[in-house]
Amino acid sequence: MIAACMQCGRNRLPELAQPIAFERFVRSEAAASAGAQPAAASDAQRATRLVLVPGAERRLVEIAAPRGPAMVLIGPEAGLSAEEVELALAHGFVAVRLGPRTLRTETAGIAALAALQSRFGDF
């Protein structure tokens, strides 16, 4: 992680948390605020929470510009189960798709970040 930050000129290490159960994650305050703001954060400070779902009605490029941090939830190789998607939606995530292709989990994050930065710049 340090070498990757040095390579791209980032002067701050990202937070690396221990793995937790999916249900605990979407229910946690970390999901509500992306770990950046306290529970009483204003709407402008709350994270935009997106979940990538191949069959979602909305495309990533159709969402409003984030007014604070953004979080993108990406499933494993087999995808999130219908129950996991429903749980995420029930806790404030918005289902979006990147396009007509199903991407591998290790490339979906890169593609989503590139699309967000292309559309909104650094936010």
Please tell me the predicted confidence (pLDDT) of residue 38: 47
CB 11 within 8 A of CB 54: no
Burial status of residue 53 (CB atoms within 10 A of its CB: 0-12, 13-18, 19 or more): buried
pLDDT digits (tens, 9 = 90+) for 26-49: 988 554 554 544 444 455 557 789
Please tell me the predicted confidence (pLDDT) of residue 34: 46
Quote the CA–CA distance of 19 and 84 in Å, as a whole number: 16
Domain ranges across the chain? 19-120
Please tell me the predicted confidence (pLDDT) of residue 88: 94
Amino acid in position 6: M
Please tell me the predicted confidence (pLDDT) of residue 73: 94
Please tell me the predicted confidence (pLDDT) of residue 42: 53
The CATH homologous superfamily to which domain 19-120 belongs is SPOUT methyltransferase, trefoil knot domain (3.40.1280.10)
Spans in the chain with pLDDT lower than 70: 29-45, 123
